[in-house]
Amino acid sequence: MVVTNYARERVALFIGNSGPSPPTFFIIGSGSGTSSITQTELIAPTDKQAVTATTYPAVQKVTRQGDWNSVEISGLDLKEFGIVGSEAGLAGSIWSRTSIPSVAFDGTNELRIETTWEVF
């Protein structure tokens, strides 16, 4: 997972009490390519889903979870995912992006993505 420059800017605004919204939506896509800190969107976004759970497994860590049912992802060739704030659409203000080997969904599978961030 790559934490983008956009995310770093948002963290600075949080600290400065400017209050942008935290990352509350996962986005998934079918684009491939190396993740970069300068990216502002997925290469080929296909769906956005609200975070379904947020937990704090340890000091300085936060885990977010996103879930899709079999109908929502049927036919998807998943190659990338990321997380965006509630003010964002499918593209333009991505906090992080991860590229993965292709996973094809045929309508019989569900998807759960969990990301854990640790602040150093």
The alpha carbon dihedral of 79, 83, 87, 93 has a sign of negative
Instruction: Answer yes or no: are the C-beta atoms of 40 and 4 closer than 8 Å.
Output: yes
At 87 the pLDDT is: 60
Q: Is 31 left (phi over 0), alpha (psi -120 to 50) or beta?
A: beta
* Structural domain containing residue 100: 2-118
CA–CA distances in Å: residue 6 to residues 37, 40, 88, 97: 8, 7, 12, 11
Number of Cβ within a 10 Å radius of residue 99 = 19
Q: Which of 44, 30, 48 is nearest to 101 (CA)?
A: 30
Residue 46 CB-half CA count within 13 A = 16
Residue 63 has a pLDDT of 93
Two structure tokens written together for 25: 């939506």
The pTM of the full predicted model, rounded to 2 decimals, is: 0.84
The mean pLDDT values, 10 residues at a time, for the chain of 120 residues are 80 75 87 82 90 92 94 94 74 83 94 91
Question: What is the predicted pLDDT for the residue at 40?
Answer: 81
- The whole-number pLDDT of residue 91 equals 56
What is the predicted pLDDT for the residue at 120?
80
Q: What is the pLDDT of residue 118?
A: 87
60: left (phi over 0), alpha (psi -120 to 50) or beta: left
Structural domain total, the chain: 1
